[in-house]
A and B are shown apart, each in its own frame.
Chain A
Amino acid sequence: MDSLDVRVNGTKVETSRKFERDPETVRDEDLREAIWELGREGEWIVQPVPEPYYLAPTKYGRLKKIPLEHTWHHKSCGQCGHIPGYSTSIFWLNRVLGYDYFDPRDQTSCTAWNYYASATSNQAAQAAVAMRNFSAAYETGYFPLIHCGTSFGHYKEVRHELVHDAKLRRQVRNIIEKLGRPFVMPEEIVHYSEWMYAVREELATRRQLDVSGITATVHPACHYYKLQTGDAIYDPEIYGGQRTAAVTGVVQALGANVADYSTWYDCCGFGFRHILVQRDFTRSFATLRKIEVMKQEANPDVVLTHDTGCVTSLDKSQFAAQAHGRNVGVPVMSESQFAALALGAHPFRVTQLHWHSVDYRLLLEKMGIDVDKAWSEFQSDVDKVKQGEMEYLTWEHVL
């Protein structure tokens, strides 16, 4: 079979074909006007994106408002539970940039991991969980910023269903009112990696480490851009506008190299149910279709992605594959962790890399970080906590 006449080297598409955004081919409608219209009809309260905001280009050309601050951080259960340096890095970057944010306790998981794993829920319940969280955000005056790619994609699906299905909307509104809460739809549903994209130039100006010698491969998270596809960031300057610019735009702004590989569209193998109880599938897919291909075609120093499940699958799956002598062994983290490191964050106090499986020492050394010194500093914190000299590590310790 002849190869396609579109070659990609890094993020430069080598083709004379120009990608034109054509409104006629839009698969997913722009729901914004419908959301405001439903607001005017009293169906719900629309929470506007607070100023200042950044206007980011999406797949079919509409500009999406990305709030820079006054954000309500809708945390991810997988990030906070098993890779806590992911969320910590997002918070740390907000603090470094001086942006006001809120880290709520009145927040549940979107519960979509469970829904996609076991289906032990239904359309109304999933929508009610989403709207309860949106309501909680609204009541604080802060605007939701979604940390998890699955939460983001799922909430976009929920929004689509609520806009189009009046019966469902009434059912869910009735539930939310019984909880004594207002029924609120945010003007935009925003993923943290979109916020990262919006502040990429600010991040670049605060970079502490030279990362120009680092080559990264990017795994775009399925639920970020395959659900409600029109509402994801696409930048004409990155991959010719034919793939999402989330993650890649940030990594390039920081000065690192992004290398391409042929299986970029493949999922990570997470599988929701599979990662927990049928990991033979996850391990095989994550290593054979992703990590090994990246190694063979791009030999990256690090794999960067923007979702909970992807970091978990791509990182944790490599240990067993190594035992079989496979060509694996690349550290995996979120772009928030990578950006935090580039801005001088402590690799263990902030990015918490000791929760990750694949050896990250080589990468850190290449970035100019003294790993032994950093680990010794972290151990000193641990000792202080153990000895009762310090109750917790606080933000004051890491800023």
Chain B
Amino acid sequence: MPSDRYTDVALEEKQRLFNEVKADARYESYLYGCYECGICVAACPSARFYDFSPRKITQTLAREDVELFYEQLNDDVWNCSQCFSCNRCPRQNSPGGLITIMREVAVKNGLRTTKEALAGYTRIIYKIMTTGTQVSPDMLQEDAFPDWGPQVKAVSENLDVWRRVLPPETLHTTGLSWQVEERTMHELYAIWKMTGCLDMIGELDEGLHDIMEEIMDDALEESGLVAE
């Protein structure tokens, strides 16, 4: 199916990104073919609220329609909930898994639409990559979660003392979910560097990348861990 969107992007560039998706080692085991039965769509939460279809994405990849692939890479993949309800597929496709790969390629190539989709999320990336825990107690702030009701305010106002009245010793924290050893964090930094994850952030947000690189390089130098 021809796409009338993103006509300013050369077909070669779309093909290059498609090839990158296809080259992922998981691709072969996520895509076997598609009956167009729609079971994945029936099970998909995102399909109920967005103009989104895991079936269409699977079909597009199976047909190697690079024009439509590029449109979905920009306009669709960030709607997916990544719940993997679509793994119910009778052909044993994993539309959710295919979308994970497509998202990775979108991040690695710094697509504008990806930057927009992840705007506001970068503080979470900073938290997980630098501390080893994704969400911390001090992120429960009224202005960040106004729709969660007054209980969020109660938590933030009482945070220090409420964390101290938790019996597990490891939970006496406010900036991390639990106490993580320094060496443990440094090992995580080494993993991010050795696997190219830190470089991925450079494509997404250069400022965030530079801040994290400085933190990680200093820590790795101090700990003597080799990250090459």
Enumerate chain A interface residues (CB-CB to B < 8 A). 27, 75-82, 84, 87-88, 91-92, 103-109, 111, 113-125, 128-129, 132, 136, 153, 161, 164-165, 167-168, 175, 178-179, 181, 222-223, 226-227, 229, 265-267, 269-274, 276-277, 279, 281, 283-285, 289, 316, 319-320, 349-350, 352, 354-357, 378, 381-382, 385-386, 391-395, 397-398
Contacts of A354 in B (CB 8 A): 151, 154-155, 162
Enumerate chain B interface residues (CB-CB to A < 8 A). 24-26, 29, 43, 45-46, 48-50, 78, 81-85, 87-88, 92, 100, 103-104, 106-107, 117-121, 124-125, 128-129, 132-137, 139-140, 145, 147-149, 151-152, 154-155, 158, 161-172, 176-181, 183-185, 187-188, 190-192, 194-197, 200-201, 204, 225-227
Decide yes or no: A350 and B100 within 8 Å by CB, A81-B137, A178-B194, A289-B45 being known contacts.
Answer: no
Contacts of A352 in B (CB 8 A): 166
In the complex, residue of chain B having the shortest beta-carbon distance to the beta carbon of A384: B165
Contacts of A179 in B (CB 8 A): 187, 190-191, 225
In the complex, residue of chain B having the shortest beta-carbon distance to the beta carbon of A136: B184
The answer to whether A385 and B164 touch across the interface, beta carbons within 8 angstroms, is: yes
In the complex, residue of chain B having the shortest beta-carbon distance to the beta carbon of A121: B197
Decide yes or no: A128 and B195 within 8 Å by CB, A109-B128, A114-B124 being known contacts.
Answer: yes
Decide yes or no: A319 and B81 within 8 Å by CB, A78-B134, A120-B125, A285-B45 being known contacts.
Answer: no
Nearest Cβ on chain A to B208's Cβ, whole angstroms: 10
Closest 5 CB pairs of A and B: A319-B149, A119-B103, A108-B132, A267-B83, A125-B195
The answer to whether B195 and A105 touch across the interface, beta carbons within 8 angstroms, is: no
The answer to whether A122 and B200 touch across the interface, beta carbons within 8 angstroms, is: yes
The answer to whether B161 and A382 touch across the interface, beta carbons within 8 angstroms, is: yes
Most chain A beta carbons < 10 A, residue from B88, B133, B134: B134
A-B contact pairs, 8 of them (CB 8 A): A81-B135, A81-B176, A84-B166, A105-B180, A105-B184, A273-B118, A354-B154, A357-B152
Distance of A79 Cα from B48 Cα, bound (Å): 28
Distance of A164 Cα from B83 Cα, bound (Å): 23
Contacts of B29 in A (CB 8 A): 164
Besides A105-B170, A121-B104, A226-B85, 20 new A-B residue pairs in contact (Cβ under 8 A), listed by A number: A77-B135, A82-B140, A84-B166, A108-B132, A109-B128, A109-B177, A118-B103, A119-B106, A122-B195, A128-B191, A132-B187, A175-B190, A179-B225, A223-B83, A267-B45, A382-B165, A386-B161, A393-B167, A394-B167, A397-B167
Distance of A259 Cα from B152 Cα, bound (Å): 30
Most chain A beta carbons < 10 A, residue from B48, B50, B226: B48
Nearest Cβ on chain A to B162's Cβ, whole angstroms: 7
The answer to whether A270 and B81 touch across the interface, beta carbons within 8 angstroms, is: yes
The answer to whether A116 and B100 touch across the interface, beta carbons within 8 angstroms, is: yes
Nearest Cβ on chain A to B4's Cβ, whole angstroms: 27
**Contact pick for A226, options B87, B140, B152, B161, CB 8 Å:** B87
The answer to whether A78 and B135 touch across the interface, beta carbons within 8 angstroms, is: yes
Nearest Cβ on chain B to A319's Cβ, whole angstroms: 3
Decide yes or no: A118 and B191 within 8 Å by CB, A270-B83, A386-B161 being known contacts.
Answer: no
Decide yes or no: A91 and B139 within 8 Å by CB, A80-B178, A271-B82, A285-B49 being known contacts.
Answer: no
Contacts of A116 in B (CB 8 A): 82, 100
The answer to whether B171 and A105 touch across the interface, beta carbons within 8 angstroms, is: no
Distance of A272 Cα from B167 Cα, bound (Å): 29
**Contact pick for B165, options A87, A103, A289, A378, CB 8 Å:** A378
Distance of A316 Cα from B194 Cα, bound (Å): 38
In the complex, residue of chain A having the shortest beta-carbon distance to the beta carbon of B200: A120
Distance of A47 Cα from B171 Cα, bound (Å): 27
Distance of A78 Cα from B151 Cα, bound (Å): 17
